[in-house]
């Protein structure tokens, strides 16, 4: 399956998705602070409102539009990034091991699950649909974790092996660092929330969310047309090695 978008415009998918998510979060957080950090009905964290708490009572239309835009952009980004790896007009890694191709498909599917979960989370808010929201939050997190980890695994060799694609190493390394950072923050967030360290867990949730925008922006470098700006004469010499 291929996206019917000109290949030199694919980078717009993560750019739009990341920007939409960042602006949505920023407006929600600034609105909450500007209104005196109110505590909402059913709010679990007594000090810092979670994203879902604010979305249930303030700026719901903004959260819905931002979430749908982010979800569509993220799903499209996963499809574009993994399609580009095996597109002869892009990276042409046809000699990948079978397990990598399988992981690539699985990452794309996990991205679709994450996107659907995010849209449903925005529709079924935590106050009116508390049980459903909790389940969808888990589904979204599992989809995100799966797509992020598998994408990192599939592209990992580009972060450390010689590559003919100028700049790709930087974006692959940055993406991997963000995934490891998010995983650490996620573990700390869950642990601190369970032990009722509310202030720190609240900060961590917002930090993870904003880091998600940075993760999406990193894919802009993955989806730039290879060769534009140069791979130089060393491209063909290194291509065989980078395909393994």
Domains of the chain: 7-27+41-225+232-243 (1.20.1070)
What is the pLDDT confidence band of residue 129, given thresholds at 50, 70 and 90? confident
What is the predicted pLDDT for the residue at 4?
62
- Contact between 96 and 115 (Cβ < 8 Å): no
For the stretch 145-162, pLDDT in tens is: 999 999 999 999 988 887
What is the pLDDT confidence band of residue 227, given thresholds at 50, 70 and 90? low
What is the predicted pLDDT for the residue at 3?
52
Q: Say which residues have a Cβ less than 8 Å from residue 91's Cβ, sequence separation at least 6.
A: 84, 85, 165, 226
What is the pLDDT confidence band of residue 17, given thresholds at 50, 70 and 90? very high
Is residue 128 scored above 80 in pLDDT? yes
Classify burial at 222, counting beta carbons within 10 Å of its beta carbon; exposed 0-12, middle 13-18, buried 19 or more: buried
Classify burial at 84, counting beta carbons within 10 Å of its beta carbon; exposed 0-12, middle 13-18, buried 19 or more: buried
Is residue 239 scored above 60 in pLDDT? no
What is the pLDDT confidence band of residue 45, given thresholds at 50, 70 and 90? very high
């Amino acid at each position: 399956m291929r996206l019917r978008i000109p290949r030199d415009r694919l980078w717009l998918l993560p750019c739009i998705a990341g920007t939409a998510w960042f602006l949505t979060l920023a407006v929600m957080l600034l609105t909450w602070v500007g209104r005196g950090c109110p505590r909402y009905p059913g709010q679990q964290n007594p000090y810092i409102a979670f994203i879902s708490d604010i979305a249930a009572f303030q700026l719901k239309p903004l959260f819905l539009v931002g979430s749908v835009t982010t979800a569509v952009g993220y799903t499209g980004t996963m499809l574009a990034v993994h399609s580009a790896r095996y597109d002869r007009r892009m990276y042409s890694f046809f000699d990948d091991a079978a397990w990598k191709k399988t992981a690539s498909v699985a990452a794309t599917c996990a991205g679709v699950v994450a996107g659907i979960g995010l849209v449903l989370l925005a529709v079924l808010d935590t106050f009116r649909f508390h049980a459903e929201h909790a389940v969808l939050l888990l589904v979204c997190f599992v989809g995100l974790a799966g797509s992020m980890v598998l994408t990192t695994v599939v592209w990992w060799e580009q972060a450390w092996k010689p590559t003919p694609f100028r700049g790709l190493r930087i974006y692959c390394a940055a993406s991997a660092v963000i995934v490891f950072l998010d995983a650490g923050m996620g573990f700390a967030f869950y642990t601190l929330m369970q032990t009722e360290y509310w202030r720190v867990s609240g900060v961590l949730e917002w930090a993870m969310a904003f880091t998600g925008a940075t993760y999406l922006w990193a894919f802009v470098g993955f989806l730039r047309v290879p060769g534009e700006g140069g791979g130089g004469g060393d491209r063909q010499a290194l291509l065989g090695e980078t395909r393994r």
